[in-house]
Each structure stands twice: as structure tokens, then as C-alpha cells.
Amino acid sequence: MMQDWNAYRDALVAKVGDYAKITPDVMRGLATVEGAAVKTGKLEPKMHELIALAVAVTTRCDGCIAVHTKKAVEHGASLEEMSEALGVAIALNAGAALTYTARVLEAHAALQQGA
């Protein structure tokens, strides 16, 4: 096993709780943003969590992975559904790398023009 995800998630939630005591306004602000994202109710909670998992992978956030994997399962997401969402994240990351590769080529061309 790479990591004890349950222990990690529990420790993270505890530390976030400690942080919330120090900066409650920041945590209220985050809760407001999170609440606004689900306020319209157009997407089911499971879909929100599948999106959160894909974003967690693209932003490389272990805390988000731990929390949103649990939430996705709690909302009925199967491993196959999570895998499909993660496949989209993988495809977009590759696409983003390709897009930024074009930027490198453009930056290189600019250097050649300025030489």
C-alpha cells in the first residue's frame, strides 16, 4: 500500500479543524464557495464528487483525493465511475501538456526572432 488513506484523511480533517479555530473567516469563505457550487442543484452530489476527484488529480492534492474519494463512495459512485472520471482528467492533463508545449515552441521562436 502506498499510503494509509484513512489515517491520512482523519489527520488532515483534524488539522483543518485546528486551522478553522485560528481563521474561522477563511473557512466560512471556503464553505460559501463550496455551497455556491452546489446551490443550483442541477448536478447530483455523486457527479460533484466525480468532478472533484478529477480536479484533485489534476491539481495533485492528496487531501482532496482522500476526502472526495470517500464522499464519492458515500454518494454511490462505483470504482468504474471514478475510473471514467479520472480518465477524463488524464486526457485533459495530456491535452494541457500539449497546449503548453505549443507555448514553449512559440517562446523558442520568439528567442530566434530576437537574436
Q: What is the pLDDT of residue 68?
A: 96
CA distance 53 to 12: 17
Handedness of CA 19, 24, 28, 30 (dihedral sign): negative
pTM, 2 dp: 0.81
Q: At the topology level of CATH, where does 5-114 sit?
A: AhpD-like (1.20.1290)
Q: What is the pLDDT of residue 115?
A: 65
Question: Whole-angstrom distance between the N-terminal and C-terminal Cα of the chain?
Answer: 52
CA distance 108 to 1: 43
Return the amino acid letter for 113: Q
CA distance 22 to 40: 31
Q: What is the pLDDT of residue 1?
A: 65
Residue in 63, 56, 62 with CA at minimum distance from that of residue 82: 56
CA distance 109 to 81: 43
Q: What is the pLDDT of residue 48?
A: 96
- Domain layout of the chain by residue ranges: 5-114
Mean pLDDT by 10 residues, the chain (115 residues): 88 95 96 90 95 94 95 97 95 88 90 81
